[in-house]
Copies of this chain bind each other. A is one copy, B any other.
Amino acid sequence: MKPIQLLIFIFFVSFSLPFSAQTDDKVKQDFQASSVNQPGKEFPKVNSEGRVRVRIEAPQANNVQLDIGGVKYDLEKNDEGIWIGESAPRDEGFHYYQINIDGASVPDPGSKYYYGAGRWGSAIEIPAHDKEFYVMKDVPHGSITENIYFSEITQSWRRNFVYLPPGYFGNSEERYPVLYLQHGSFEDETGWASQGHANLILDNLIASGKAKRMIVVMDNGYAYKSGAKQNAQEGRSKSAFEEVLIDEVIPNIDKKFRTKASRAYRAIAGLSMGANQTMRIIMNNLNLFSYYGGFSGTSNYPGNKKIDTSIFLNGAFEDADEVNEKLKVLWLGLGTKEPEVFFKTVGDFREMLENKGIQYTFYESPKTAHEWLTWRRCLHQYAQLLFK
């Protein structure tokens, strides 16, 4: 496992300390059903403090816990065999969790399921005060299309999800710029169009005139050459994602959809592991892209030395004039509550950029950690700068 993978793994799936669920009268009793519950399900719930309350019927169980944010909260059983309890307040945003029943870690049957932290499982949304930018509104909506392709490099069927902006289907002439947008470690191609709300963020920005109409392509960042060990979690194989993206995905997209197929109209961005991957990809392929966005990660992660531009990414940042000319936007974003290592590496990276005189934009998402609210906000900021 690579260091970044290990850290994310620990971050999401750590051996949790047991806590007693708060059931005293300090808990505000204004719980509402979560916005990501299954149809008709009353639980899980969230209150105005950001506490998550779960409920599960398990009459013969000895011990049931809510496992969220690296902490396990004991639930209490009532006379009907129903276990109930809640977490301490959680930050605004999107959080994976599971229920632990007598040692079995399972999805909550009340929640919808998402791919993250290396599994399909439960998640909950603590409503954000600024959620307006990613909620469904009465504006023209783009479409998410599942695009299946066969990769000769990996010798496997792969897919991406493609956001086609409002109006794409209504005309047959207009061509659009393209943003390639990548997920993070232990996530997949479903993340951005599901928990990431990339489609709604773009719909709302486009409707308000703040972003250009664009196509967004969300592929799977795990790719290994045929014959190489494909176990992504062990990370032993050299990733072939750059090759897949450059040699297969981009030609496929440019052929299938009405794109503007040149570097002036191509952007790339990614979160966490995807920030790392896409930084390397753009610096290796400045002939193909002119906009970069790194959300919660940079390509020097988890380096602990000052960046030596003569060797870093094969000297890609040595010639500041060239970088300034070719990268119309170099954008970095981070949540203020992310683990220190992210501040350290992004800080080192920024210091390098400043020492070289390379222009960049830095954004901090207030009071969010290494999770999807940070990345939704990053996309919301970054997308406004593209193709202008």
Residues of A within 8 A of B (CB): 38-40, 56-64, 81, 98-99, 101-109, 112-113, 118-121, 136, 138, 141, 143-150, 157, 164, 169-170, 172-173, 188, 231, 233, 255-257
Contacts and interface: CB of A to CB of B under 8 A. Distances in A.
B172 A231 contact: no
Given A120-B112, A157-B136, A104 B103 contact: no
Contact of A145 (B145, B157, B255): B145
A145 B148 contact: no
A388 to B, nearest CB: 27
Contacts of A121: 109
> Top 9 closest A-B pairs, CB basis?
A58-B104, A172-B172, A60-B102, A61-B102, A59-B103, A106-B106, A145-B145, A141-B148, A60-B103
A99 B231 CA distance: 27
A315 to B, nearest CB: 37
A231 B231 CA distance: 44
Contact of A59 (B102, B164, B170, B173): B102
29 contacts: A40-B118, A40-B231, A56-B106, A57-B104, A57-B105, A58-B101, A58-B103, A60-B62, A61-B102, A62-B62, A62-B102, A64-B104, A98-B109, A101-B101, A101-B102, A101-B104, A106-B108, A107-B109, A107-B113, A109-B121, A112-B120, A113-B120, A141-B148, A141-B149, A143-B145, A143-B146, A144-B145, A169-B256, A172-B173
A139 to B, nearest CB: 10
